[in-house]
Amino acid sequence: MKNYLAPLIIGIAIVLGIFLLGNAYKYKYKTGETITVTGLAETNFVSDQIVWKGDYSRKTMDLKSAYAQLKEDERRIRQYLAGKGVSEKEMVFSAVSIDKEFSSRYDDNGRITGSEFTGYNLKQTVTVDSRDIEKVEKISREVTELIESGIEFNSSSPSYYYSKLSELKIDLLAKASADAKLRAETIAKNSGSSLGSIKKASMGVFQITGQNSDEDYSYGGVFNTSSRNKTASITIRIDYAVD
């Protein structure tokens, strides 16, 4: 009996060792598996802030005279904007920029022979920052009234912003994460596995484009300011362990 007992114990030990080794390898292999997915979320929203800029200038040979004319233009522009319902806190006037301008003199052969002072060019910018979008849009369209009054006013197109962008971004991240998890669960289920914990997560590109526009998405992200109605989108990449 003793002669059979020792080989039997050794055989059981070998079988048990192979079983444990196989399970260990299987566990190691399975825990090394991951599912990588990209979640996407997007939403449409309407801007709640408008920024509109315009600049005006005066040019004369006398600096003092040019400055006086420019300050008179500023007074009239303030009065004009106030008459349109723009408050003092909604308008900001920049400092005056002064440029000395020259024109080149040429000889009969077209060669530059010198320069001639042509006057001082003074320029100033006014910025209107408001939550009343309709009001400022109307002013930007009717600003030719200032030009007709004798002011050399150049109007820029309004820019549109959203004051709750941080909250919007957080909400999109949550939705993109949920989308990524759903994709990963579908993959795991179809492969006969179950989803484990998150091993790695990284936020992708956050973009804001104009609604129904043909703007191209870019690697660094697009931030549209020309459209009042916008679409925000975000992606998130997540690596899940497989159980």
Quote the mean pLDDT of the chain.
86
Per-residue confidence (pLDDT) for residue 102, from 0 to 100:
87
Statement: residue 19 has pLDDT above 80: no
pLDDT digits (tens, 9 = 90+) for 117-138: 899 999 999 999 999 999 999 9
Q: Is the dihedral of CA 193, 195, 196, 202 positive or negative?
A: positive
Q: How confident is the model at residue 29 (pLDDT cuts 50, 70, 90)?
A: very low
pLDDT value at position 25?
43
Q: What is the mean pLDDT of residues 167-175?
A: 95
Domains, in order of start, for the chain? 30-46+164-242 (3.30.110.170), 49-161 (3.30.70.2970)
Band of residue 37 on the pLDDT scale cut at 50, 70, 90: very high
* CA-to-CA separations, 83 to 77, 88, 114, 139, in angstroms, rounded: 10, 11, 48, 11
pLDDT in tens, 42-59: 999 999 999 999 999 999
* Pairing of β 49-60 and β 159-161: antiparallel
Return the percentage of the chain with pLDDT > 90, whole number.
Answer: 61
